[in-house]
Amino acid sequence: MSDSPAGLSADDGDGLASTENEESKVGWSAAKEIAIIIVIALVLSALVRAFLFQAFWIPSGSMENTLLPEDRILVNKLSTQFGEIRRGDVVVFSDPSNWLSDRFDQGNILQRSVRKAFSIVGLAASPSDRDLVKRVIGVGGDKVVCCDAKGRVSVNGKPLDEESYLYPGDAPSDEPFNVTVPVGSLWVMGDHRSASGDSRFHQQDPAGPFVPVDKVLGRGMWVGWPVSRWSVLRVPETFSSIPVNPAGK
């Protein structure tokens, strides 16, 4: 006489246990596959961020109205690795010589840590805590001067028509300068001149006012957030016909 409950054989019990084990294995296998997919996606995202494209968060108004506080921009890193930086480009670069010495990260330590971790794997825009964004006015060998008799900035003797990007009501510069940009360096300025601590204000620094090209993280391509601000960052027409500085000094 069988010890099994009525209507259930010993074989039936083994079948239920086997089914439960199989379901458990299937569930565990699916969980592993999902975990692997997530890890691969994060690794690919980190690689894209490191070598191809990176998003940055704009913290200040130094580039208004081209870029507004809280904008997110996409930066092309390949453009600096395999191409030349051009006059008129909007670039993101690492602090060259303590330009941000008095600045600190926004948010508490937990917020900063989470934001930093997310940005590393490409899930959030870089907070730009030690990076800056400006417009390139002069490249290596250029003579950049302000101001001429009409108050304009000139590059290699050609006055710039900056109306299309200069912050409304701002003068091209209240700070005079007359410099020749060293080879391998850049002279940069914010579009909101009265609110930008750029090359003009570091002329007396021991390291000088120029940004080494190897400090540039990439060229700004696109304003991606908020949606209402979607736009391509183009080089203004005024930079299209700058002559070469024949004197080189």
The residues that are catalytic are 62, 134
94: three-class secondary structure by DSSP: strand
Q: Could you tell me where the beta strands, DSSP code E, fall in the chain? A: 53-57, 72-76, 90-94, 131-138, 143-146, 154-155, 158-159, 177-180, 185-189, 211-212, 216-225, 231-232
Contacts of 192 (CB under 8 A, 6+ apart): 61, 62, 63, 64, 65, 167, 170
- Tokens describing residue 172: 């091209």
135: three-class secondary structure by DSSP: strand
* Sign of the dihedral through C-alpha 10, 12, 16, 22: positive
Task: Say how far apart CA 225 and CA 231 lie, in whole Å.
Answer: 9
Q: Tell me the CA end-to-end span of the chain in Å, nearest whole number.
A: 109
45: three-class secondary structure by DSSP: helix
Helices 10-51 and 109-120: angle between axes, nearest 10 degrees = 90
